[in-house]
């Protein structure tokens, strides 16, 4: 894609990591900062609650990406219900669309934020589709 800067990688991210409450902010790495530095886009998951239609819309988008050479990961938060990922609802929606469940990385709020940030960055940097899949799609 001439002149196109897309990074071909993105992360499903819980609302609580995009908009951390004031008290939680100090305990968490700067997730958006790390995602930016690693060249990932964001697919934001809704806050806790019933969001069936919105999750179906998100699953449609994940399927479209996954079927066309994009790498998708999921970032959860240890201690949040369902790790903040709505996994009980989202996983069947993805399977129904023929999408393999994305690799998951859990942020641990009880661990030093700087250390967690490094671990998170290492996960993001280390993940992509196999080279053959990249060559097939990313021209």
Among residues 23, 27, 28, 42, which is the contact residue for other proteins, using CB under 8 A?
A: 42
Asked if 19 is part of the footprint of other proteins (rule: CB under 8 A), the reply reads yes
> What sections of 1-139 are H helices per DSSP?
15-18, 22-25, 31-37, 52-66, 87-96, 113-126, 131-137
Asked if 48 is part of the footprint of other proteins (rule: CB under 8 A), the reply reads no
Give how many residues touch other proteins by CB under 8 A.
Answer: 36
Asked if 120 is part of the footprint of other proteins (rule: CB under 8 A), the reply reads no
Q: Based on CB atoms, which residue is closest to other proteins, 131 or 139?
A: 139
**Angle of helix 52-66 relative to helix 87-96, nearest 10 degrees?**
50
Using alpha carbons only, give the angle 91, 95, 100 rounded to the nearest 5 degrees.
90
Distance CA 5, CA 92 (A): 32
Tell the smallest beta-carbon distance from residue 7 to other proteins (Å).
3
Distance CA 37, CA 93 (A): 30
Asked if 27 is part of the footprint of other proteins (rule: CB under 8 A), the reply reads no
Tell the smallest beta-carbon distance from residue 27 to other proteins (Å).
17
Q: Which residues pair with 9 in a beta bridge?
A: 71
Asked if 6 is part of the footprint of other proteins (rule: CB under 8 A), the reply reads yes
| Contacting positions for other proteins (CB under 8 A) | 1-10, 18-19, 32, 35-36, 38-44, 46-47, 51, 53-54, 56-58, 60-61, 64-65, 68, 70
């Amino acid at each position: 894609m001439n002149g196109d800067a897309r990074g071909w990688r993105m992360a499903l991210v819980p609302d609580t990591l995009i908009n951390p409450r004031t008290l939680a902010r100090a305990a968490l790495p700067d997730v958006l900062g790390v995602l930016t530095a690693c060249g990932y886009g964001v697919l934001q998951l809704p806050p806790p609650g019933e969001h069936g239609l919105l999750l179906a819309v998100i699953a449609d988008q994940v399927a479209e990406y996954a079927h066309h050479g994009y790498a998708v990961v999921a970032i959860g938060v240890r201690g949040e219900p369902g790790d903040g990922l709505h996994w009980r609802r989202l996983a069947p929606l993805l399977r129904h669309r023929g999408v393999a469940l994305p690799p998951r990385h859990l942020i641990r709020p009880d661990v030093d934020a700087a250390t967690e940030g490094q671990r998170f960055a290492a996960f993001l940097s280390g993940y992509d589709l196999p080279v053959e899949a990249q060559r097939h799609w990313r021209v």
